[in-house]
Structure 1
Amino acid sequence: MNKNLFIVFVVIFSLLVANHLESLYPAKYDDADVIATYIFKSEGSDNEIKTDKSSSTFTKKINAKVISVIDGDTFQIKVEDGGAIEEVKLNLIDAPGIQPVQPFGPEAKAFISKLLLGKTIILETDLSVRDEDGRILAFAYYENNIVNQMLLENGLARVKMDQTDKLDQKGVDYLSQFIQVQSQAQEAKLGIWSWS
C-alpha cells in the first residue's frame, strides 16, 4: 500500500510543479484556443469534427472504425462518415514494442487486434490532442470499456507519465485510476509484471 501512496504522491507533486512552472513561464498561446480551433478534416471532404470552446474540459469524442493495428497501443482509424484516416496512440499508457520485439509486445498487439480490428470505437481526446509523432492521443472506448485500462489490467502496458502537464480534469482522473489498475496488475504479476 505504501508503494501506491508513493506513486500517487509523485503524480500529484509532478502536476503541482508543472502548474507552478507554467505560472512562472506562461505559454505564448492558450492551449484551449489551439484545441478549440483544431479540426479533423480529410482532403476533399466536407466532414469536420470541431471541439466546442464553450465546453468546460475541451474534450471531444470521435466515432471511428479501427482499420489496422500497428502495435499494442497504436492503431489506424477511419473517422465515421467519410472522414480522415488517422493514427491513434492510446493516451497515458505504453505497451511493449514489436520492432524490435519486446517481451509481451506481440501479446499486446494481438490483444488489441482481436478486440478492436474492424470494429467501431469511440475516441475521447483531451488537451494533448497529438503526440510528437503526429498521432492522435486518445482514450478509446469499446463496448463501454476503456481500452487503455484493459491493457493495464492485463499487464500488457504500463502507465506513461510524460504528458501529464497537458491533461484536462478527466485525464487527471484517468491517470489516478490507471495507476491503481497498474498496481493491481503488478501485485498479481500479470503480463509485463510477471518477470519483475
Structure 2
Amino acid sequence: MMDADWTIRDNRSGPLMRRCPAIVLLVLASLSVGGSPFASAQNLNCDDFSSQGEAQAVLAADPSDPNGLDGDSDGIACESLPGGGGQPSASVPQTQPDPATVTEPRAEPATVTEPVNQVEASTGACADYDAQVWAQTVYESDEDQFAALDPDGDGIACPELPDEFGGFAPTLWADEIPRGAEEATVLDVGDGDTFDVRIASNDQIETVRLYQIDTPETRDPNDPDECGGAEATAFLELVLSVAPESTLYLQFDRTQYDRFDRRLAYAWFELDGDVYLVNEVMVRNGFAEHRVYEPDRRHERRFEQAAEFAEEHQYGVLELCEGRFDLPLSEQPVAAQEPQEPVQQQEPAAVDPQPQQPVQEPQQPAQTGCDPSYPGVCIPPAPPDLDCGQVSYSGFAVVPPDPHGFDGDGNGVGCE
C-alpha cells in the first residue's frame, strides 16, 4: 500500500549549524579539555552533521542525548549517516517532502535510558514463551545459550507454540516505552497498517498510519486488492486486541502527518512486563513489508533486522503469497483440496440386509495456525471473528463448528 507520502505539518524552525568537516576538529579539541562544543546548541538533529562520526562525538560528549541523536537507544548516533553503525537502508524512499514547505520539525522527547538487552533475561524453556516467533527470536540471538529451544537441532525453535498467525514477540532491545510517547486508545482497525484512536490528552479521534511499514492493499479503489491483505488486517486486530485496556503509546518521528492527514506513529504497549512495538511486530511476523519514507528513520535498523528474520523463515504474507507483498489477490495461491474417496456401495445381503453406514469424509491434516473447520484453505482461528470480506478465499469447504460462520446456509460451502 504505497500511500505514505509524508508531509510535515507540525513544525518549528530553528537555526541550523553549517555542515563542515572542521566540526570534527572542534569536537576533539573540546573533548580534550573536558568540554562540549555543542553544550549551548539546541534542536540539533542528524541533518546537521556530514558524517556519523560527528554525531557520535556529540553523543559521547553528552550521553543523556538531549538532541535525540540515538533514536533507538543502542548507543549509536545517526546510524543512517555515512560511516554509521548500521548501513543505510537499501530501500528506495517512496516520496520526498516538498523542500519549499519543509521546516525544522518540532523536537520530540528523546529516550535517554542506556541500551538494554532483554535477551539476557530470557530462558531456555519453551514453556516460558507463548509464541514460536518469540522463541525463535531468542534462540537466534545465541544458539548455544538457548540450544534447549531447539532440541532436535533443525533450526526451528519450539514448533509446538502458536505460529506467526497466532503469536508474536516483544521487542528484545527495549525494556520500557519511550518517554514522551502520547497515550491513545484503539477504537477500530482500518487495514494492516492503519487504525483509529482516541488521543488521551485532548479526546480527539485520529487515524494512525504506522511508520516504516506497508501491508498488502485491501481498500484502495484505484488499486486491486493484494494477496495477504485480509490476513494482515486480521493479524493487526489480534495484536492490538491484547494491549491492556486497548491502550497504546504513540511515538513520533520527524514527519507528523501524511498527505491524507493521518497521524504517523510508532505504536507501543506493555503487557506482563514486556514491551511491544507494533510496527516491528507486523514486520517480524511477515505481515508487513519494511519501507523507508524520508525523512523518518527512527528504529530503522531494528526494522531491517525484523524484515530479514521474516524473510528467512517465510512468515505471514511471505508464506501465503509466494514470497511477495505485491501479488494481486486474483493470483493468491489456494491450497488444492484432496479428492474425495468414492463411496463404496455395499451389496445388500440376501436376507436381513444391514443398514448402510454413513461414510466418513477423510479429514485433511490441519495446517499450523489454520482453523480445521476450513480444510483446503488456511484461515486463522477466532478470535477475532472474520467475515467473507476479510478473507481471500471463496467457495471453500466448511465443516462444523464453523467458528467464523462462513457457511450461512449450512450446505458445506463457505463464502459462496
TM-score (norm 1): 0.68
Deviation digits for residues 81-120 of structure 1 (CA, Å, limit 9, x no counterpart): 5511000001010111212431111111111212225711
Residue 132 of structure 1 pairs with residue 244 of structure 2: no
**Once the two structures are aligned, what percentage of the paired residues are identical?**
28
Are residue 142 (structure 1) and residue 266 (structure 2) matched? no
Provide the rounded CA distance (Å) in 2 between the counterparts of 1:149 and 1:97.
19
Matches within 5 A, 1:1-196: 9-11=87-89, 29-31=103-105, 35=106, 55=109, 60-80=180-200, 83-99=203-219, 100-117=224-241, 119-143=246-270, 144-163=275-294, 165-167=295-297, 171=298, 174-194=299-319, 195-196=322-323
Flag the structure with more relative contact order, 1 or 2, with Cα contacts below 8 A and sequence separation at least 6: 1
Deviation, structure 1 residue 29: 3.1
Which consecutive unaligned segments of at least 5 residues does structure 2 have? 1-85, 112-178, 324-416
CA-atom RMSD in angstroms: 2.9
The alpha-carbon deviation at position 132 of structure 1 amounts to: 1.6
1:113 partner SS: helix
What secondary structure is seen at the aligned counterpart in 2 of 1:98?
A: coil
- Give unmatched runs, 5+ long, in structure 1: 1-7, 19-24, 37-50
Q: How many residues align?
A: 154
Partners of 2:288 and 2:91 lie apart in 1 by 23
Task: Give the greater-gyration-radius structure (CA).
Answer: 2
Q: 1:166 to 1:155 in 2, by over 3 A?
A: closer
Partner Cα distance (2:317, 2:200) in 1: 34
More helix by share: 1
Residue 253 of structure 2 aligns with an amino acid whose one-letter code is D
TM-score by length of 2: 0.34
Which piece of structure 1 moves more, 110-119 or 182-191?
110-119
**Deviation, structure 1 residue 60:** 4.4
Corresponding residue number in structure 1 for 2:399: none
The amino acid that maps onto 2:184 is A
- Given that 1:60 and 1:126 are in contact with CA atoms closer than 8 Å, whether structure 2 keeps it comes out as no
Q: CA deviation at 1:14?
A: 7.6
Which consecutive aligned stretches of 4+ in structure 1 deviate over 6 angstroms post-superposition? 12-15, 25-28
- More strand by proportion, 1 or 2? 1
